[in-house]
Structure formats: C-alpha cells, structure tokens
C-alpha cells in the first residue's frame, strides 16, 4: 500500500479518533490519504492552534493528541506547542512533512530542519529515512509519547518517502533498548517514606501535574485520608485532589494561598508527588521549606534532586507507588494526634488569610467575581481551559476543580494563545461535556483565528473573555515593580468583540453589569454552539496574594 | 547514608539528602549510543542547553556496527554529575552510561605536536619525545611533528616542555577510556 495509507492505518491502530492539522505541499500525500482514512481531521486556521488543540485533547482525555503540519513554516509554527507540551509533559505526536530527500540540505523551497530546531524541546523525534520505517516510527512515537514521563514526539516525513509503496503489519510491542522507564518504585524506599510520614509532625503533600498524568488521583486521595494529611496542588495539579475539601490548602506557589505557602515554609516533611519544584513554586530556592525533609516521587529520575535535594527518592509511576505506600502506612503504628498542633496552625492561617477580594458595591464586575460567576453558571462542572495572565491565576484560585482533567492550562511554558485552541481540542475529545475558555483580551488575540475552526465545526466552546483592556499581568508587574510605568501594556484599539465573533458566525454578547453576569453566561452556555461573552471587568485589579519573584514564602504580599 | 529503615522509629533528622553534588573531580563518561543520525547533536545540545561544559569529546565505532561509543570528560567541580547522567539517560538513543572511576580506568589521549625546529633543536626534541614514549612522525627543514599518547597529564607535561621551542600547532583527540579488568561498559 502507499506509505501514507500505512501511516493512517498505524494511527488508527494507535486509537487516534481525531487529529488537528493544516496541509501543504510537503504533506499533500498524507492529506490525500486522510481524504478517505475515516479519521476525524479538524482543519485549524494556524498550525499553532492545531498543536495546542492536540494538547487540550490530550490533557482532557489522557490520550495522545495528534497534530499535523507541512514542512518549513508549517512545521516551525508548531514550535511553541511542542515546547509547551514538553514543559507540561503532555502526550502528543506531531507529524510534519519535509521536502523531498534529494532536496534535503540544499535550502530547498519550504525546507526547515525541524528535527534540529526542536531537538531541545521534544521528548524524542524521528526523521524518516526509509519509507518502510513510517509505520514503525508512528508506533514508537506513540509509545514514547504516552509512557514514562509523557511528552511530545515529532515525526518528520520527507515528501517523496511518503509516496512510496510499502507493506505494513501493525506492531504492538515496540522495542527501544535505550528507553526503559521505571514504573514500580523501590520497595525499601516506599517503606522508608511511609515511616518518615508516620514520624512527621508537620507533613504536607505537594501534588503536581504528574499525578494527573498518572491518573493517580484516587490513589492519592486514599493515602491522604488514612490520616488527615494536608494537601496542596500546583497550578498543573489542580483537580488531582478534589477542591474544596477540609484537607485541601488550596494552590501553592507565586499566587497560591497563604495557608499552602506557609505550611510548606514550616513543614518538617514534604511529600512531593509528580511535582518538579518549579521556581514559581519554590521562590527563593535557598529559603524554600527550610525545615523540611523531602520525599520525592517522580517517574522521571532526572527530576529527583534537580532543584531541591531529595531525602527519600522514589522513581516510578504514582499509580503503582501510592497504593503500596498506603499499604505500608496502614501497617505502621502512628498517632494522628501528633498533627494536632500542625492543624491548629494551618486553621489559624486559613482563618486569618482566606482567599478573598474586595467585591464591588455597584454593578462593576470584579475579575474574581467573574470567575465565581462562571463557577455558578457552570455549576462547577465544566472543563475549564484558560489562557495566560491574571485571568488564569484568578481562574485557578476561584474555580474549584472536583476532579482531574477539568483544568486545561499552560503551566510550565505560560503560553498566551493556548486557551482557545486547547479548549477546542478538549471539546473535540469530550463532546458530552461543557467546555469553557476563560481568556484575556491579549491572549485571545494570539490565536483568534481559531474562532473560524470553532464555527465551521460547530464546536460548542464557550469563551468567557475577561476584558480589562490591558495585558493585565504585565501591567501588574509594572505597577508593583517598575514604578507604574505602563510600557506597552494598554491594548488600546480593542476590536468590537461582539461584531468580531459575529463575523466568524459565533453567537456573542457583551456584559458590563454584575447583576446580569450569571444570566448572560448561562445564556451563552444554553446557546447551541460556540459562544463568546465579552465581560468588561475592573481595569486595574491585581492578582493577590503574591510571592514576588525570587523571594520566599514568608515574604508574601497582598 | 545509614539505613534508618531498620529502626522501628526514626527521627526525620536521620534522613540524609541524596543526589548531593559530588564535587571536585574530573569525570570520564563512557556513553554507548545507537548509531542514529543526530545522536551527537542531541547530546551536545543537551550539554549546551543545561550549561554543562564538555572538556573533551571522542566518538567512534565499537565492535557492534549499530552502536557507537562517546567518551566525554567533564569537570565535576562545576556540574552535579548525577544530573548530567540522568539528563543524558532521557535521550532515547542513549543505551548506557558509565561514570568511570579514575582508579579503575585506563584512559588515553593522542596528541600531535608540530614544533619549530632546526638542525640544532631537532635532536633535543626527538630525545624529549623518546622519554615520553612519543614518536617523531614528520620532520621538515624548520619543523618537527611528534605523536604522544597517554593521560592528559602526560600530554600536558610534554606540551609545557616543548612550548619553549615554539609550538606551531597542537591537536588532541580527547580521551578514550575503558575500565580495567574483564568488565565492559
Ligand atoms: C506568547 C506569550 N507572550 C508574552 C507573554 C508574557 N505575558 C504573560 S501574561 C501577559 C499578559 C496577558 O494579558 P491578557 O491575556 O489580556 O490577560 P490578563 O493578564 O489581562 O488577564 C503577557 C504579555 C506570554 N506569557 N506568552
């Protein structure tokens, strides 16, 4: 069969039901095969949109997201999504077209060395040199993308090779001698960690996106509830532990709660699970959790002691390790009352510093209120994708996620323009669920063209635009740290969003009145199809609390 | 690190941090990789991106034509070596890495020295090279070229001796190394 037909067969064998892409000369053979492959393909309006859509699909479903692009500029448009997927460990496969092999290295038309360009930002990449390797490369790509610490894999296929005739037999067991992720976790280390936890007087569970990736939320909950252990989640970990919950301290880090950050600061034992001690979490590294010993569970051995030295490292899959941890813990004698003082301290912080804001007394819409209104209108049951900025932090703070894979976010890279296409991908992967996108007026314009994709494919994403007329988060930093010199953060000539959405064929409405907000949001939700609500919020509101960059948890402001 | 696990109860202060930086010495990493295009670029790129400084790098085939060996030396005083090896291990084409212990390793480097020489100094340089078990590989009217193999200390010692004659050019291969005894890497 034609190599591109084998490519389609391999994708189907891997369970691909939808992919996002954009055609061009170098992947024309592939698009010819897609024509009657029976795989749902969504034509995006920019390859970056396709890449983020694949991420949104993967993050919300746990399956591998697939995105296609042609060679040269098509492929380079995928660089940002690939980097984003790497930072957040998103299982994704990117398939790019490449110029013919006789043109490789000659600066041929639309040639770009995409494997070279993306080398530092992929988990793995495969450049096809023999057409017979195409199906095998696809199987390897999926295997590497979804196992171990998930991540992006690029497969680059020269145009002439994709036109060859080859035989294809699907393979299920990929053998890569240099790639052997550890799953099980060392039994002795697990026992040691259980003992350490039983002896801790001020323990904290610090939970990251790895728990979501490992589908280990239930296992986490079981362990956390053996005794009343306090739990905090990173931005990417939100939903891994249900919120709100008496044991949940809220998010930690730069815009986390005081209870979570102070608890980390005073903890004697931190159980880090699938979290990587990012600088947005640790602040000033030398003053991070100064009294704590660290148990670190991670599937990627290179994360252990990368930023913070681990006292008990456990390499492996949280889904396998946590139940064994619980079992070890149950076999120990421990005394829950040893944590009594600790909980008193935590309750004191919770009472003294709740997550709160000063709401308006008139009709003005405060951005925090807007998130609460979204929560109310969706009954807390939506998949929420956000973009990057203040709105993202407020969404993280004020929308309580009852379970994992409801919060679709660009956490590690912080990519503006992520939200809309990621929401689109999440909606494509979860047709039964309500998917909303909370975006900012800056972020939304970074991949605004995907409104066309939404409209064409009737993908019912509800976009709730937190419109403050500013690049709000940057403005906040300028206000706080740069003497209020607002250099190039005023979005000035904003489009008429309602007209714009209308031009794309999308239902839209503007809302300026707080009392009507929930109703308008509900109207958008009830509308059959994609919708946009342009919510005019307070222009200069700041995201608090905050640990200023490079400072310690104790230095929180606001 | 002691094993607090053997005691029924232990205080958290018994726990020692792992992954501490073993600082100070030079490390010789012997890395087996699959012979795939771009492997070297991936490895050198990883070093560049993470700010690890490679001192020497030697690459060549092994007895298995699907596998190459990279011998790489790196200053352990500057970089946490376990991070370096763990990051390298993440590359799919990297099969095996060994951080060779200096006392258990035979390491060699080849260097070529092209030195200013005339009728007077030729003899003297050639005698020096004999002491270093070097070989004169080329002689011209105004130069002499000597090949020296050995540890980097030996090569550096030879360099400091011949430099006063006028060093026209020096080329070094970077170290290659094997473990002593029957073990393979
Ligand atoms: C692609 C990209 N460019 C620049 C930035 C830097 N940046 C971070 S937040 C932000 C402002 C975001 O503004 P907006 O989307 O309007 O959201 P707001 O903060 O106002 O809620 C900027 C420019 C980024 N994160 N991503």
- The fraction of chain A above a pLDDT of 70, given in percent, is 100
Contact A195 B94 (CB under 8 A): no
Ligand 1 pocket residue status of A414, Cβ below 6 Å: yes
Taking the CA of residue B133 and the nearest CA in chain A, the distance in Å comes to 40
* pLDDT higher than threshold 70 for residue B5: no
**Ligand 1 atom closest to the CA of A471, numbered from 1:** 13
CA distance B140 to B122: 10
Check residue B1 and give its pLDDT. 38
Closest chain A residue to the Cα of B82, Cα to Cα: A302
Taking the CA of residue B43 and the nearest CA in chain A, the distance in Å comes to 10
Nearest to A178 among B18, B82, B95 (CB): B95
Tell me the mean pLDDT in the region A272-278: 97
Say how many Å lie between the CA of residue A391 and the centre of ligand 1.
10
**How confident is the model over A406-446, as pLDDT tens digits?**
999 999 999 999 999 999 999 999 999 999 999 999 999 99
- Spell out which residues of chain A touch residue B46, defining contact as CB-CB under 8 Å: 120
Say how many Å lie between the CA of residue A470 and the centre of ligand 1.
9
Please tell me the residue having the least CA distance from ligand 1 atom 13: A471
Among A421, A473, A489, name the best residue to mutate to test ligand 1's pocket (greatest count of ligand atoms within 8 A of Cβ): A473
CA distance A548 to A557: 8
CA distance A499 to A521: 18
Chain A / chain B CB contacts < 8 angstroms:
82
Tokens of A204: 């904290």
Nearest to B11 among A177, A199, A302 (CB): A199
What ipTM describes this predicted complex? 0.90
Confidence bin at B6 (pLDDT 50/70/90): very low
Nearest to B12 among A269, A300, A306 (CB): A269
Residues of B with a Cβ under 8 Å from any A Cβ are 4-5, 9-12, 15-20, 33-34, 37-38, 41-42, 45-46, 49, 80, 82-83, 86-87, 89-95
Please tell me the residue having the least CA distance from ligand 1 atom 9: A389
Ligand 1 pocket residue status of A283, Cβ below 6 Å: no
Say how many Å lie between the CA of residue A258 and the centre of ligand 1.
24
Taking the CA of residue A32 and the nearest CA in chain B, the distance in Å comes to 29
Is the bond preceding B73 in cis, omega lying within 30 degrees of 0?
Answer: no
Q: How big is the CA angle at A409 (ends A357 and A511), to the nearest 5 degrees?
A: 50
Among A88, A254, A395, A443, name the best residue to mutate to test ligand 1's pocket (greatest count of ligand atoms within 8 A of Cβ): A443
**How confident is the model over A100-123, as pLDDT tens digits?**
999 999 999 999 999 999 999 999
Beta bridge partners of B177: B107
SS3 assignment, position A468:
coil
Residue pair A161/A3 in contact by the 8 Å Cβ criterion:
yes
Residues of A with a Cβ under 8 Å from any B Cβ are 115-116, 119-120, 123-124, 127, 129, 144, 176-179, 188, 191-192, 195-196, 199-200, 268-269, 293-294, 300-302, 304-306, 309-313
Q: How big is the CA angle at A314 (ends A308 and A319), to the nearest 5 degrees?
A: 120
**How confident is the model over A3-54, as pLDDT tens digits?**
999 999 999 999 999 999 999 999 999 999 999 999 999 999 999 999 999 9
Check residue A317 and give its pLDDT. 98
The distance from CA A366 to its chain's CA centroid, rounded to whole angstroms, is: 26
* pLDDT higher than threshold 80 for residue B8: no
Closest chain A residue to the Cα of B32, Cα to Cα: A178
Contacts of A115 (CB under 8 A, 6+ apart): A125, A127, A154, A156, B38
Beta bridge partners of A313: A296
Contact B17 A196 (CB under 8 A): no
Check residue A307 and give its pLDDT. 93
Ligand 1 pocket residue status of A390, Cβ below 6 Å: yes
SS3 of chain B: the string is CCCHHHCCCCCHHHCCCCCCCCCCCEEEEEEEEECCCCHHHHHHHHHHHHCCCEEEEEEEECCCCCEEEEEEEEECCCCCHHHHHHHHHCCCCEEEEEEECHHHEEEEEEEEEEEECCHHHHHHHHHHHHHCCCEEEEECCCEEEEEEEECHHHHHHHHHHHHHHCEEEEEECCCEEEECCCCCC
**How confident is the model over B17-40, as pLDDT tens digits?**
876 555 667 889 999 999 998 999
Average pLDDT over chain A reads 97
Check residue A151 and give its pLDDT. 98
Tokens of A108: 């041929």
Q: How many residues does chain A have?
A: 558
B76, B87, B80: which is closest to B46 by C-alpha? Answer: B87
Ligand 1 pocket residue status of A441, Cβ below 6 Å: yes
**Ligand 1 atom closest to the CA of A466, numbered from 1:** 21
Tell me the mean pLDDT in the region A235-239: 98
Contact B83 A144 (CB under 8 A): no
CA distance A66 to A57: 9
Nearest to A199 among B9, B16, B17 (CB): B9
Tell me the mean pLDDT in the region B71-96: 88
Contact A178 B34 (CB under 8 A): yes
Check residue B21 and give its pLDDT. 55
Ligand 1 pocket residue status of A415, Cβ below 6 Å: yes
- Spell out which residues of chain B touch residue A313, defining contact as CB-CB under 8 Å: 18-19
Q: Find the Cα–Cα–Cα–Cα dihedral A347, A348, A352, A354, rounded to 10°.
A: -20
**How confident is the model over A515-543, as pLDDT tens digits?**
999 999 999 999 999 999 999 999 999 99
pTM of the model: 0.95
Check residue B3 and give its pLDDT. 47
Check residue B2 and give its pLDDT. 40
A272, A280, A278: which is closest to A307 by C-alpha? Answer: A278
Tell me the mean pLDDT in the region B100-125: 93
């Amino acid at each position: 069969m034609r190599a591109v037909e084998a490519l389609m067969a391999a994708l189907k064998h891997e369970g691909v039901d939808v992919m996002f892409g954009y055609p061009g000369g170098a992947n024309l053979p592939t698009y010819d095969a897609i024509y009657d492959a029976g795989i749902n393909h969504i034509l995006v309006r920019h390859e970056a949109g396709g890449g983020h859509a694949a991420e949104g699909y993967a993050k919300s479903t746990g399956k591998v997201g697939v995105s296609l692009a042609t060679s040269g500029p098509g492929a380079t448009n995928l660089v940002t999504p690939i980097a984003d997927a790497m930072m957040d460990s998103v299982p994704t496969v990117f398939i790019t077209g490449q110029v013919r092999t006789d043109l490789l290295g000659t600066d041929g038309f639309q040639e770009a060395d995409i494997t070279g360009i993306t080398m530092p930002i992929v988990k793995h990449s495969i450049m096809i040199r023999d057409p017979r390797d195409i199906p095998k490369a696809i199987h390897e790509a999926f295997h590497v993308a979804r196992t171990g610490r998930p991540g992006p894999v690029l497969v680059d296929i020269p145009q002439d090779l994709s036109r060859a005739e080859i035989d294809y037999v699907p393979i299920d067991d990929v053998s890569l001698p240099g790639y052997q992720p550890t799953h099980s976790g060392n039994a002795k280390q697990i026992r040691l960690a259980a003992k350490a936890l039983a002896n801790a007087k001020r323990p904290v569970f610090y939970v990251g996106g790895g728990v979501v990736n490992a589908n280990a939320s239930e296992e986490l909950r079981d362990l956390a509830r053996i005794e009343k252990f306090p739990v905090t989640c990173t931005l990417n970990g939100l939903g891994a532990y249900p919120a709100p919950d008496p044991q949940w301290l809220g998010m930690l880090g730069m815009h986390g709660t005081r209870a979570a950050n102070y608890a980390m600061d005073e903890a004697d034992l931190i159980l880090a699970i699938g979290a990587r001690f990012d600088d947005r979490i640790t602040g000033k590294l030398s003053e991070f959790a100064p009294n704590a010993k660290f148990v670190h569970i991670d599937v990627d051995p290179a994360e252990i002691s990368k930023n913070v030295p681990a006292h008990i490292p456990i390499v492996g899959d949280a889904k396998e390790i946590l139940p064994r941890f619980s079992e070890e813990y149950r076999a120990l004698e421990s005394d829950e009352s040893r944590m009594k003082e600790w909980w008193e301290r935590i309750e004191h912080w919770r009472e003294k510093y709740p997550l709160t804001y000063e709401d308006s007394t008139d009709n003005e819409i405060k951005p925090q209120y807007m998130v609460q209104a979204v929560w109310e209108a969706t009954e807390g049951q939506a998949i929420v994708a956000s973009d990057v900025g203040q709105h993202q932090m407020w969404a993280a703070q004020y929308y309580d996620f009852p379970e994992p894979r409801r919060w679709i976010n660009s956490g590690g890279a912080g990519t503006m323009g992520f939200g809309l296409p990621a929401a689109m991908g999440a909606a494509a992967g979860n047709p039964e669920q309500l998917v909303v996108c909370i975006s900012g007026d800056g972020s939304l314009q970074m991949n605004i063209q995907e409104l066309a994709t939404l409209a064409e494919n009737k993908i019912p994403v509800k976009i709730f635009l937190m419109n403050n007329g500013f690049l709000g988060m940057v403005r906040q930093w300028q206000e706080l740290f740069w003497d209020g010199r607002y250099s190039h953060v005023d979005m000035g000539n904003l489009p008429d969003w309602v007209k714009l959405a209308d031009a794309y064929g999308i239902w839209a409405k503007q809302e300026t009145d707080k009392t009507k907000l929930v109703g308008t949001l509900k109207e958008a939700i009830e509308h059959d199809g994609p919708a946009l609500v342009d919510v005019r919020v307070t222009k200069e509101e700041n995201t608090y609390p905050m640990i200023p960059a490079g400072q310690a948890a104790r230095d929180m402001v606001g | 690190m002691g094993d607090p696990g053997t005691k029924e109860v232990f205080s958290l202060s018994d726990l020692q941090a792992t992954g501490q930086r073993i600082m100070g010495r030079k490390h010789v990493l012997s890395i087996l990789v699959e012979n795939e295009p771009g492997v070297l670029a991936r490895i050198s790129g990883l070093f560049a991106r993470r700010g690890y400084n490679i001192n020497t790098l030697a690459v060549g085939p092994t007895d298995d034509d699907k596998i190459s060996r990279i011998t790489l030396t790196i200053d352990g005083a500057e970089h946490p070596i376990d991070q370096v090896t763990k990051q390298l291990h993440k590359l799919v084409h990297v099969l095996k890495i060994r951080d060779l212990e200096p006392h258990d390793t035979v390491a060699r480097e080849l260097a070529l020295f092209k030195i200013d020489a005339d009728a007077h100094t030729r003899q003297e340089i050639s005698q020096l090279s004999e002491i270093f078990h070097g070989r004169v590989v080329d002689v011209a009217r105004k130069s002499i070229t000597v090949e020296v193999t050995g540890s980097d200390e030996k090569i550096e010692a030879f360099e400091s001796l011949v430099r006063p004659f006028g060093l026209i050019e020096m080329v070094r291969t970077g170290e290659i190394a094997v473990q002593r005894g029957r073990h393979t890497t």
